[in-house]
Amino acid sequence: MNKKLLNVAQLITSTLRLSATSTDVAAILAGTNGVDWNILVHHADGHSLTPLLYDVWQQAQAEVLQLVPAYIRGRMARAYADNTARNNNIRRELIEIHQILTEADVPHLVLKGWPLVERLYAEPAHRVLYDHDFLVPPDRANAGHQALLNRGFRPLPAKDEWVEKHLPPLWRNHGYRWDGYLFDPHYPRPVELHLHLWEQGWRGLQVSQLTQLWSCAQTRTVAGVPMRLLSDEDALIHLAMHFVGHLVEREARLNQLLDLARFIQQASFLDWERIWAQTDQANNGRFVYASLYLAHQIFGSRLPPANIWRRLAEVTPPAFRQWLIAQGPTDVLTTDYRRRQTGQDYHLTFLAADSARERWGIIRFAMLPPLGQLVVKYRLNYVWLGPLLYPRYVAERIGTYGRAWLSRS
């Protein structure tokens, strides 16, 4: 365990807990003797929290912020200013994309993104956004994709070959080359048209899609324009699944968990019986439980009513619950998508499996992924060629995990 990393992660999240007052933040910062500021700001950058931290710390007490080295303050101030400009661009893009899809007669629900910025954060600069996500009906998805292509959007370079929940992402790049700076205002944002909220048969598990998404959707004013969003209940489940999906796949960010924590606190009314019914039908209650538990432990968000919490706990495999209690918060606090642990993703997936059938499904997914994913991964023109590439895929997986094992030996 990297104690320095854990210490800075705890410092970061303790100042962002939902109950933290300006006085609390000032007291925490006043006790930061010996903190490694380079590790802290690197970790905050990776979890997309630097702009928010800068403003929260700045508003605590001006003299306390002086305890932070000047070059770190300057780096954080730049992130805040650049993310302000970045989100101004994103707001304009959202309105334009909404109009393009509307004119193309493509119904759409805005997922996460800008609606969360307006709803959960005092300033747009507080939340870092990376893309635009929309849920669209499968029978209108290609029309929406073509409408965006007609307006100058172009496919991203080959990336995330496994993703089937959305159509290939599009963006307006105009020759831009990223230099690695995470808060660059000019970084072009991809647009993803989702057919589903998560992958079908995610990682070989028997997880289904939510029902009644469209009939229960709500209209809210977003960026000054009426737009359709998921209901609060479905949005909470989506945020929980989004975080735990990235957690299992070793690319979670703390800002994703903070979204969930703030959403639970902000929503004036949540129909927890409907949330339970939706998760029960989708067989994903264990993952909603995991995200709600971690949001409560790390950021202090409230838990569901006792009867709902008990049901969610009961459908969570004991081994997964034990991992969450013993290691979950530390794992989340110290995870770094830039340094993934190969193999930990399957360890967590097995812990979350609730039957022998699911465990077999995980093994089958690892060794023999769905044919459609092979077609996408290897860019095949003919589906019937897919089975011929299973040996190549298996050999590549063995090589990848073998090298990872040797590097840790």
Shared domain for 242 and 223, answered yes or no, is: no
What is the structure's pLDDT at 161? 55
Residue 393 predicted with pLDDT over 60:
yes
Per-residue pLDDT of 325-375, as tens digits, reads 999 999 999 998 877 666 789 999 999 999 999 999 998 887 776 666 676
Where does a domain end: 174, 207, 229? 229
Looking at every residue in the chain, the average pLDDT score rounds to: 91
Helix, strand, or coil here: 240? helix
What is the extent of the structural domain holding 28? 1-68
Q: Is residue 78 part of a domain?
A: no
Shared domain for 175 and 236, answered yes or no, is: no
Where does a domain end: 229, 252, 286? 229
Helices (H) and strands (E) in the chain, counts: 19, 7
Per-residue pLDDT of 228-284, as tens digits, reads 999 999 999 999 999 999 999 999 999 999 999 999 999 889 999 999 999 999 999
Q: Is residue 113 part of a domain?
A: yes
Where does a domain end: 326, 343, 360? 360
Shared domain for 263 and 327, answered yes or no, is: yes
Instruction: Read off the pTM.
Output: 0.91
> Cα 341–51–67 angle (5° rounding)?
100
Per-residue pLDDT of 83-139, as tens digits, reads 999 999 999 999 999 999 999 999 999 999 999 999 999 999 999 999 999 999 999
Q: Which residue has the tokens 């090589």?
A: 399
Q: Is residue 353 part of a domain?
A: yes
* Confidence category of residue 386, pLDDT binned at 50, 70, 90: low
Number of domains in the chain: 4
Shared domain for 115 and 210, answered yes or no, is: yes
Shared domain for 332 and 387, answered yes or no, is: no
Q: Is residue 86 part of a domain?
A: no
Shared domain for 243 and 213, answered yes or no, is: no
Q: Is residue 83 part of a domain?
A: no
Per-residue pLDDT of 139-161, as tens digits, reads 999 999 999 999 999 998 865 55
Q: Is residue 392 part of a domain?
A: yes
The region that residue 179 occupies, defined by phi over 0 for left and psi between -120 and 50 for alpha, beta otherwise, is alpha
Shared domain for 173 and 105, answered yes or no, is: yes
Which residues pair with residue 192 across a beta bridge?
133
Shared domain for 339 and 394, answered yes or no, is: no
Q: Is residue 74 part of a domain?
A: no
Q: Is residue 183 part of a domain?
A: yes
